Structures are given as structure tokens and as C-alpha cells.
Amino acid sequence: MSENQAWKQVSMIVDGDKAEEISEILFGLGAVSVTYQDAKDDPILEPLPGEQRMWPTTQVIGLFEKGYDTAPVISYLQHVYGDNFPMVAHDLEDKDWVRAWMDNFKPIKCGKRLWICPSWCKVDESDAITVMLDPGLAFGTGTHPTTFLCLRFLDGLESQGALSGKQVLDYGCGSGILAIAALKLGATEAFGVDIDPQALIASKDNAERNNVVDKLKLFDGGDKRIPKCPVVVANILAGPLAELEPNIAALCEQGGKLALSGILESQLDEVIAAYENDFTIDSTDVLEGWGLITATRK
């Protein structure tokens, strides 16, 4: 490909509080899109709905049309920011980005029978229980270790005959993946709770796609009508999980099973401490630095 036919990118590593200002400059100089990335592996864990937080060190990448002359863009940015922020211009390889993105998502087996499968793929195992789910705006595609751990917990309950015919509460439902998986595994009814309206929309859409929408009821986090259930899963974060303990304990039937995730391995003890008055801790599991706690309601 000749240089002039390539898409052009200008990339800068900047302090987070400068990212939006630089984005505006890039758009002003002709960028067709601007992307932010974490430049130093400082994950932003669960911003609140509508909240936009920037990483302390952010990579800002402006994308320009094929053949665009980015030399004036670089010289303008250097004029404004001097040597404060490293910047570089380069060509972007021309490939089928939709195909490349789709190739990132493959069916995932979570336990013995449960699979999470993107709509453009197929699972060939005869006894597979499949949740069809495409990546979207709400958290939960099965690729994150915390979701995977919760899915494997649900699959394990099904294997022990402890899920079929039960009601399941998915506290912090995101895409609805856990509630939908529970229904596919034989739960009679599932309840999804989230504080993010976008998550409730995504959960409903995903339940429709999986033909279980009539068995899924959705609630805003503050709703007082959420019913008590014999199985509860909550994949949030350690801090909110500890704070939510009284709500979660009140929503779990005596003898009911609980799975908590979204907890870093180093935070397992603090979450156990918050739950052990009301629950007997059954096990902990860790995957890629993320923990799962399973427990039984006293």
C-alpha cells in the first residue's frame, strides 16, 4: 500500500486532564475520530452511569482520512505543548476492522454445559446450553474472569440439580448475562437489578434474543419490590458489595446460595468479613487475579 493510501494516526501520551482539550484540537485539525486509551494500566473500575473519568496517563489517538498530511498537525501540537507530551504520527494498516473485531469474540465454555456464544458463531456440542450474546454497551460478555467465574458457578449448581425450578437474583445484571444463563440452565424465573438504565435496556434486549424475556423481571437498584430468592449472584466490586451486604442478605432465602465476584484477590478477606455474619462461606476461587466467593445464607 502506498503511503498516501493509508489511514493516518496521530498519537499522544498526555495527562488525563488534558485529554479532552487535545481531542478538541485534533477534531479541529481534521481528525475523523479520537480514541482514548489507558497508557499505563490504571484501570477505571465501574464509573457511575453518565460519569466520564479519564486515566491519569491517557493515550489520545486522532484518526485522519487516507493520505491526510499529518505533519502540520504534529507541528501545531508541538507548538502548543512543546516537549511536554510524546507524540507520533503513523500509518494505520488497512484491514477489515469489523472482521478483526468479530474474530476477538469466540464461543466460551463455562463449566460442563454452559456456553456463551456470539450470534455469528455456533456451538457444536450436543448437550450444550447456549446463551447467544454479542458485545454491547453493558458489561458482561463472558470474556471477563469475574463473569466467567459466576457463569461457572451457575453451571455447577445446575450439575448438582440445585438450579432447576429455582428463582435467581442477578444483582448488578449489566448485560443480563448471568440471569439469562440461569434461565437457560433451568431456573424458573430470574430478577435482574442494576443502577444503570442502559444495563436494564441491554438485559431486556438480550433476554428477548434468547427467548427468555417472559421469565426475566428487571428492577432499578433502589426498587423495594425485588423478591427474595434461593440463588443470588452479584458481580459488582468489593466496595459496593460490602456496602450492599444488608440488601443482599435480605434478598437471599435461608439456606440459599450466593456467589459474589468483581473482587480482586487481595480484597477477598474484606468482602468475606462483610458477609460472614449472615452467610457461611463455602469456597473462594481466583482467576487472573479476580476472586469469587460462594456462600450459603444462615
The nearer residue to ligand SAM, 25 or 268, going by C-beta atoms, is: 268
Side-chain half-sphere exposure of 223, counting CA atoms within 13 A: 19
Least distance (Å) from ligand SAM to the CB of residue 57?
A: 24
Quick check: helix, strand or coil at residue 24?
Answer: helix
According to CB under 6 A, which residues from 168 to 197 bind ligand SAM?
Answer: 170-174, 177-178, 193-196
Strand partners, 19: none
Q: Residue 60 or residue 149: which is nearer to ligand SAM going by CB?
A: 149
- Measured in whole angstroms, the distance separating CA 200 from the mean position of its chain's CA atoms is 14
Q: Rule CB under 6 A: is residue 131 a binding residue for ligand SAM?
A: no
Nearer to ligand SAM, 131 or 138 (CB): 138
Phi-psi region of 279 (alpha: psi -120 to 50; beta: other; left: phi over 0): beta
d(CA 33, CA 297): 50
Q: Which is nearer to ligand SAM, 66 or 228 (CB)?
A: 228
Distance CA 194, CA 79 (A): 47
Minimum CB distance to ligand SAM, residue 175 (Å): 6
Sole binder of ligand SAM in the list 134, 221, 239, 270 (CB under 6 A):
221
Using rule CB under 6 A, residue 291 touches ligand SAM: no
Q: Which is nearer to ligand SAM, 143 or 283 (CB)?
A: 143
Among the residue ranges 11-19, 21-29, 164-172, 264-272, the one whose residues contact ligand SAM (CB under 6 A):
164-172
Contact between 294 and ligand SAM (CB under 6 A)?
no
Counting contacts by CB under 6 A, is residue 245 touching ligand SAM?
Answer: no
* Nearest alpha carbon to residue 154 among 188, 182, 191, 186: 182
CA distance 65 to 255: 61
CB of 238: closest distance to ligand SAM in angstroms? 12
Question: Least Å distance between CB 65 and ligand SAM?
Answer: 36
Regarding 240 and contact with ligand SAM (CB under 6 A), the answer is yes
Within residues 28-67, the interface with ligand SAM by CB under 6 A covers: 46
The answer to whether residues 295 and 231 touch, using CB atoms and an 8 Å cutoff, is: no
Strand 252-264 versus strand 229-235 pairing type: parallel
CB atoms within 10 A of CB 220: 12
Q: Which amino acid is at 262?
A: G
- By CB under 6 A, what part of segment 199-218 binds ligand SAM? 199
CA 151 to CA 142: how far, in whole Å?
8
Q: How far apart are CA 83 and CA 139, in angstroms?
A: 38
Decide whether 58 or 206 has the Cβ nearer to ligand SAM. 206
Q: Smaller CB distance to ligand SAM: residue 236 or 274?
A: 236
Binding site for ligand SAM (CB under 6 A): 46, 138-140, 147, 150, 170-174, 177-178, 193-196, 199, 221, 235-236, 240, 244, 262
